Amino acid sequence: MKWRIGDTTITRVVELTSSTIGNHILPQATEDCIKAIDWIGPFVNDDHKLVLSFHSLIIETESQTLVVDTCIGNDKDRTYPKWHQMQSSFLDDFAAAGFDRDTVDTVLCTHMHVDHVGWNTRLVGGAWEATFPNARYLYAEEEWAHWQNESQAEYGPVIDDSVRPIFDAGLADLVSSDHQVTSEVRLESTPGHTPGHVSVHITSQGEEALITGDMVHHPCQIAYPDWSTTADVDPDQSASTRARFLDLYADRPVLVIGTHFSGPTAGKLVRDGDSYRLDY
């Protein structure tokens, strides 16, 4: 799946989709509530369970190739059974989409959760090496500071196998939460899910897109912006950030690309009475 924003192209490369996680992190999404959202069809299964997609988004500008978030990764010790020592075809699919790991210029991580940094590294000869060896990996300063004092032990040694090796290799850059990456791509601070969480804003030839990260996990949160997930570090801040985002971008010609949205993955935000909907 591809989108064109001015002179930039954004391509989705999927690692996996799942209907087992969404309702765990969004228990508010009862069958009756989901049935009440008349536009939600492509984002749920036949039982009205939330479907999440785990994918990377590759941005091609005139000067750079950038990878936004790197999914879960292979060969990693994880406490979630389906992700433990996973063997996905992500790198083959990445190549099949026309991309070369060696020519990626920049890796952007919206935050450092387990399903956003996994393919930062790959296992080579028993050691974790950068999957994109010629790229600079950009992390928000506040996000990295947070994980110096916190643990993802509930998921496994995420920082040690997927983030710290990038620092050790000298490939990491700490940047501000509103960092201008290229003339077309900048970070946008969207805290709450994690303290240093960022979204990615793309502007080219008068056209705009925004990659959400986990500010919005599932499109049902567009209809119910007060629904924060059990994975949010600060649920109140997450809801406030989401409300500001919806108010800012609704009824504007900005393509919103969901980092975990399945189905069409992207659309425009539209005011819908007292709430919002995704027009895809």
Give the β-pairing of 106-108 and 136-140.
Answer: parallel
Residue 182: CB atoms within 10 A of its CB come to 17
Q: 50 near 37, Cβ under 8 Å?
A: no
What is the secondary structure of 238-254 as a DSSP string? HHHHHHHHHHHHTTSSE
Q: How many separate domains does the chain show? A: 1
- Give the mean pLDDT of 172-187: 97
The tokens describing 265, both together, are: 């993955």
Cite the DSSP H helix spans in the chain. Answer: 22-25, 31-35, 90-96, 114-117, 141-149, 158-162, 164-168, 220-223, 235-249
Average pLDDT of span 178-203: 97
So what's the pLDDT on residue 153?
A: 64
Mean pLDDT to the nearest integer, 13-27: 96
Query: Per-residue pLDDT for 21 more than 90?
Result: yes
Please say if the pLDDT value at position 149 is more than 90. no
Band of pLDDT at residue 156, cut at 50, 70 and 90 = confident
pLDDT band at 151 (very low <50, low <70, confident <90, very high): low
Residue identified by tokens 């791509």 is: 185
pTM for the whole structure: 0.95
Confidence of residue 114 (pLDDT cuts 50, 70, 90): very high
**62 CB contacts (<8 Å, ≥6 apart)?**
7, 8, 184
Lowest mean pLDDT among 60-64, 148-152, 203-207: 148-152
- Reference 227, options 30, 35, 43, 28; nearest CA is 28
Report the pLDDT value the prediction gives residue 75, as an integer from 0 to 100: 97
| Mean pLDDT of the 132-145 span | 97
Q: Give the domain CATH number at 110.
A: 3.60.15.10
pLDDT value at 216 more than 90: yes
Expressed as residue numbers, the domain containing 195 is 2-279
203 burial (CB, 10 Å; 0-12 / 13-18 / 19+) is middle
| pLDDT, the chain, mean | 96
